[in-house]
Amino acid sequence: MTPDLPDGVERRTFDGRERLATRGDPVYGEPTDEGWRVWDAGRSKLGAMVELGLDTGLAGGETALYLGAASGTTVSHVADFGGPTYAVEFAPRPVRDLVGVAEDRPNLFPLLKDARKPETYAHVVESDVDLLVQDVATRGQARVAVRNREFLADDGRLLAAIKARSEDVTRDPDDVFADALADLEESYEVLETERLEPYHDDHLGVVARPL
Amino acid sequence: MTDDAHADAGWFEGVGPDDPEAGAARIREGRADAPADWPEQAVESGFADDETDYYAKLHDAAVRASREAAAEREQAGDQQLVHAIRAMDDLDAQANELAERVAEWAGSRYPDAGTGIEYARELAGRDPASPVEERLVSLARRVADLADESDALRAFVERETPEVAPNLSALAGPILAARLISLAGGLDALSKQPAGTVQVLGAEDSLFAHLKGHASSPKHGVIFTHEYVRGTRPEKRGSAARTLSGKLAIAARVDYYSGDRKPELDAELRKRIDRIRGVETDHDNEGSDGDEGSDGDEGGAGE
């Protein structure tokens, strides 16, 4: 059975297909309908996790820290259904787009920071956030989540997308995922995992809560 | 404003309630050992009237900080590389020219005189015994200094290029990557070049000779220095150059538009080059000679 969608996320029909949608200004030319815009699971790992029915624990209105926000495609949807949303991205070019997305969203705070160095943004991001999203696609993805554990409330949720090919292209994805989960278990209890196919190849979606 | 005394303070500490500029500077440069309930502290300290006011102020300062920092970082990286690699080439050219002069001069005095920068370095270490030697050894020292500076710039480029263009640097090697960025005029400009242009960057002389009609089209520009081109037998070099430049063009776009490292690019390129060279690989036993990878993705080997 599929968990309930968080408040602020609905399945709506676009061009005859039922798709996830949130309410907000369009960001990347996605289809819109009466103020709702498509949350494309093929472009968003978090969207794929919700679409595939992982029990994300999302209820809507969460204070969120999003690591690896890139151009802001996914984090814009998080800000649509969430509360204060901190978006960390380290590459300058996508941050230019992220700033554009944040300008129209008063609850979205863009930060040009390195997610591997939480001390460089701990003076901005508040403690006890409800949701930590790990979407940084560099080697050591699980360790990034571990290092950012300090921001998460004890009853909060980590939603992580582990990309096998960011760790090692030559290894079997299953081995890479096993290692990443072992790293995560230093500071999290893993509640659920699922491969994100067909939306994203060689990605593992992970739901975890802090130990 | 940015000192470490604030290591356990929020970004708004010491910032006036209506000074987003100072707030942005603190967001960019400050740090803290651990997060805290900043909204509550900001309201308590009088920085914000209430939580809503706090988030509005944070939004202004964060948008401003990120916009400024992104603009500066974009400026910084690739243009500094362009200057560094051009300065390195200037230094090499000057050092070589002066080394020739040193060799010629030294040859008139010592029967065992050598040539090149290495010989100039050797000479630079000598104690001059006459006024003429004083000048000659001094000149040799300039050559050694220029060569040292070139080495230091090379080390700088090798360190910086992976930061600015991680994928291009991984595929091309940091020096060649910096040269391509320099020839295009920046990472921005390089990311907009079609693969065919990347293939002949640095071969402008031959390209214009070809366009005027008195030469064949160049197969490669600076990418000739890449092992995938130089190490491929001559009749296959055109294919190798075309495949390599296709992947380099993609890598430059990924670096410019996303900045994420994509190791799969390396593996795909390796596989395609192996196929061109007729080498069988573990994953792929279709590598018969002459097969040029008709799976050409954008700008790849398609012809």
| Band (A169; pLDDT cuts 50, 70, 90) | confident
CA dihedral (B33, B36, B38, B42) positive or negative: negative
Instruction: Produce one character per residue of B77-91: b if its CB has 16 or more CB atoms within 10 Å, e if not.
Output: bbbebbebbeebeeb
Reply yes or no on whether the pLDDT at B219 is more than 80: no
User: Are the Cβ atoms of B34 and A128 closer than 8 angstroms?
Assistant: no
CB contact under 8 A, A122 and B267: no
Distance (Å, whole) CA A11 – CA A41: 12
Give B71's contacts in chain A (Cβ within 8 Å).
92, 96
The two tokens of residue B46 are: 């009088």
Task: For residue B4, give the DSSP letter.
Answer: G
Class assignment of domain B77-163? Answer: mainly alpha
B11/A122 CB distance under 8 A:
no
> Nearest Cα to A118, choosing from A108, A129, A107?
A129
User: Of B27, B37, B261, which has the smallest distance from its Cβ to A124's Cβ?
Assistant: B27
β-strand pairing of A9-14 with A17-23: antiparallel
Given a cut of 60, is residue B295 above it in pLDDT? Answer: no
Residues B81, B156 contacting (CB under 8 angstroms)? no
Q: Residues B223-237: pLDDT tens digits? A: 888 989 988 988 888
Look at residue B291 in the predicted model and tell me its pLDDT. 37
Amino acid B75: pLDDT: 65
| pLDDT band per the 50, 70, 90 thresholds, residue B293 | very low
- Sheet of strand A36-38: strand arrangement: A9-14, A17-23, A36-38, A32-33
Contact state of A123 with B32 under an 8 Å Cβ cutoff: yes
pLDDT of A62 > 60? The answer is yes
Q: Is the pLDDT of residue B6 over 70?
A: no
Instruction: Evaluate the omega torsion of the peptide bond into residue A198 and state whether it is cis, within 30 degrees of 0.
Output: yes
DSSP state of A62: -
Residue A141 has what pLDDT?
Answer: 92
Q: What is the DSSP string of A70-139?
A: TTSHHHHHHHHHSSSEEEEE--HHHHHHHHHHHHT-TTEEEEE--TT-GGGTTTTSPSSEEEEEE---SS
Q: What's the rounded Cα separation, in Å, for the pair B157 and B175?
A: 7
Distances (CA, A) of B45 to A158, B26, B33, B60, B291: 31, 17, 20, 19, 71
Asked if the C-beta of B189 comes within 8 angstroms of chain A's C-beta atoms, the answer is: no
pLDDT digits (tens, 9 = 90+) for A70-93: 999 999 999 999 999 999 999 887
Question: Options 1.10.246.90, 3.40.50.11540, 3.40.50.720, 1.10.760.10; which CATH number does B166-298 get?
Answer: 1.10.246.90
Q: What is the DSSP letter of A207?
A: E
Task: Work out the average pLDDT over B53-77.
Answer: 89
Q: Mean pLDDT over all residues of chain A?
A: 94
Chain A residue numbers touching B10 (CB-CB < 8 A): 123-124
pLDDT at B77 over 90: no
Q: What global pTM score does this model have?
A: 0.65
Selected from 3.40.50.300, 3.30.565.10, 3.40.50.2300, 3.40.50.150, the CATH number assigned to the domain covering A40-210 reads 3.40.50.150
Residue A67 to chain B, least CA–CA distance (Å): 13
Q: Which residue of B has its CA nearest to A163?
A: B262
Mean of pLDDT values over B158-182: 93
- Beta-bridged to residue A144, according to DSSP, are none
Distance to chain B for A2, nearest Cα, Å: 33
pLDDT at res. A1: 56
- Option in B37, B73, B262 nearest A127 (CB): B37
B35 and A94 in contact by Cβ < 8 A?
no
* pLDDT at position B249: 95
Task: Answer with the residue of higher pLDDT: B217 or A76.
Answer: A76
Closest CA to A97 of B70, B125, B27: B70
Closest residue to A123, CB basis, from B30, B260, B262: B30
Average pLDDT along chain B: 86
Verify whether the Cβ–Cβ distance A170 to B262 is below 8 Å.
Answer: no
pLDDT band (50, 70, 90) for residue A53: very high
Task: Name the percent of chain B lying above pLDDT 70.
Answer: 89
- Residue B280: the pLDDT is 53
Q: Closest by alpha carbon to B167, among B248, B273, B49?
A: B248
**Alpha carbon distance B283, A168 (integer Å):** 16
Map out the domains of chain B as residue ranges. Answer: 10-75, 77-163, 166-298
How many angstroms separate the CA atoms of B193 and B200, rounded?
11
pLDDT at res. B209: 79
Query: What is the per-residue pLDDT for B301?
Result: 34
Sheet of A203-210: strands edge to edge?
A108-112, A85-89, A64-67, A129-134, A152-163, A203-210, A188-195
Closest CA to A91 of A108, A72, A61, A113: A113
The residue of chain B with its CA nearest to that of A91 is B259
CB contact under 8 A, A107 and B10: no
What pLDDT, on a 0 to 100 scale, did the predictor assign at position B153?
A: 96
CB-based contact A96 B70, cutoff 8 Å: yes
- Do residue A84 and residue B26 have CB atoms under 8 angstroms apart? no
Q: Which position has the token pair 């097969």?
A: B291
ipTM, interface predicted TM-score of the complex: 0.94
Q: Bigger pLDDT: B284 or A189?
A: A189
Span B190-194, average pLDDT: 92
